[in-house]
A and B are shown apart, each in its own frame.
Chain A
């Protein structure tokens, strides 16, 4: 390449002109961008769950030098929803360098937890726990961090460690202790340790008389233990708190179904269908109850509905009924 060559000079001049004009255009465009306008747009997109757009505007804000903890929190949340865990981590670590906080450490732990759901890597679990512990060190009442650590241990079936962290949360007198009694009870439930589970669900209910999930779990435990009277009692308690919740009707129906009291089972399933007509499980069990009562047309009617609503067992049942009849 000879620099005195005219062709080369023209080529170089055009290239330099290209870069210069691009730079000028970039500078002029950026002058007209307003931080407030972008912040409003970013927040609006974030609230409306348009995470692609919100991430775009938050990144622009950061590149414009707008350093705010909420921006880093929101962009990280947006990137987590989009599945870009690496960038979410990078922004959180950048934010932590500027202004460490319990919430940012929690979010970083949550990012590794979200990644863990698809990677199943032990390293991600360890990193998540590490940052969640730092979050707790900075704020001992950060209940979200305790909960997430517990969930990580629950996922790896290490229920004892999960309970240790839930109990630590209780020691710190965090808000909503009934929730954590419920979490502890759940770990015992998963280990089929019914008596301990009942003990903690009762503590949860003592603290929060409207803890529907605890009543449902108690009902389920008593059903498993074949104590149908207590099981029904707890499910009826749920109905008294929230009459529109479909599950207790279904569960009471199942209790009677198990006891082969199909007439009573149908009554409770029908109450459930009043709340949710297209519940595939309720339709299936009503169908099966009518089949046990030798009321075939009614059985077929409900099994068909269950099949339309996606119940595979209902499809199989209808097929076998067609072969039989």
Chain B
């Protein structure tokens, strides 16, 4: 399982959020509450998790639908763990979302 130790994944995500904050801060002038780097990193961290989680839920529903069609066509039961699939989707989406944010923050 990708990143079996979930805490280590969230630590990596925290480090990614910290790096993203630096580039976002270079791009736009963060004022008010967002000027506080702990608050900003926290917002970024949870934003990535939020977007990735809901994206992975959508992907999981697509996978469930696809597996039902597969079962209908082939008559074979697709064997996969929903929990594993959700976690895998989630971690992959975290990287994708982070990369997209990174690309935006370095583009002028």
Q: Do A and B bind each other?
A: yes
A-chain residues with CB within 8 Å of residue B61 when the two chains form the complex: none
Alpha-carbon separation in the docked complex, A83 to B35 (Å): 11
Whether the pair A1, B5 counts as a contact (CB closer than 8 A) is yes
Alpha-carbon separation in the docked complex, A56 to B98 (Å): 21
A149 CB, min distance to chain B CBs, angstroms = 28
A-chain residues with CB within 8 Å of residue B50 when the two chains form the complex: none
Whether the pair B102, A60 counts as a contact (CB closer than 8 A) is no
Contact of A38 among B3, B12, B98, B108 (CB under 8 A): B108
Given A1-B8, A25-B103, A29-B107, A11-B26 contact (CB < 8 Å)? no
Which residue from chain B places its CB closest to the CB of A86 in the assembled complex? Answer: B35
Which residue from chain A places its CB closest to the CB of B108 in the assembled complex? Answer: A60
Alpha-carbon separation in the docked complex, A202 to B26 (Å): 53
Report if B43 contacts A (CB, 8 A): no
A-chain residues with CB within 8 Å of residue B3 when the two chains form the complex: 7, 11
Whether the pair B2, A14 counts as a contact (CB closer than 8 A) is yes
Alpha-carbon separation in the docked complex, A81 to B27 (Å): 17
Contact with B along A36-63 (1 / 0, CB 8 A): 0010000000000000100111011001
Which residue from chain A places its CB closest to the CB of B103 in the assembled complex? Answer: A25
Interface size class of B (residues with CB under 8 A): 20 to 34
Whether the pair A11, B9 counts as a contact (CB closer than 8 A) is yes
Whether the pair A14, B5 counts as a contact (CB closer than 8 A) is no
Contact of A79 among B4, B29, B102 (CB under 8 A): B29
Whether the pair A25, B106 counts as a contact (CB closer than 8 A) is yes
Greatest chain B CB density within 10 A among A30, A38, A56, A86 is at A56
B43 CB, min distance to chain A CBs, angstroms = 18
Contact of A84 among B5, B35, B103 (CB under 8 A): B35
Alpha-carbon separation in the docked complex, A55 to B98 (Å): 24
Contact with A along B18-55 (1 / 0, CB 8 A): 00000000111101000100000000000000000000
Report if B99 contacts A (CB, 8 A): yes
Which residue from chain B places its CB closest to the CB of A37 in the assembled complex? Answer: B108
Alpha-carbon separation in the docked complex, A38 to B27 (Å): 13
Contact with A along B89-108 (1 / 0, CB 8 A): 00000010011001100111
Given A22-B102, A83-B31, A59-B26 contact (CB < 8 Å)? yes
- Besides A25-B102, A25-B103, 12 more A-B contacts (Cβ < 8 Å) are A7-B1, A7-B3, A8-B5, A15-B12, A18-B98, A29-B106, A33-B108, A55-B29, A56-B27, A82-B31, A84-B29, A86-B35
* A interface residues, Cβ below 8 angstroms from B: 1, 5, 7-8, 10-11, 14-15, 18, 21-22, 25-26, 29-30, 33, 38, 52, 55-57, 59-60, 63, 79, 82-84, 86-87
**Nearest 8 CB-CB pairings of A with B:** A11-B3, A7-B4, A55-B29, A84-B31, A82-B29, A84-B29, A18-B95, A7-B1
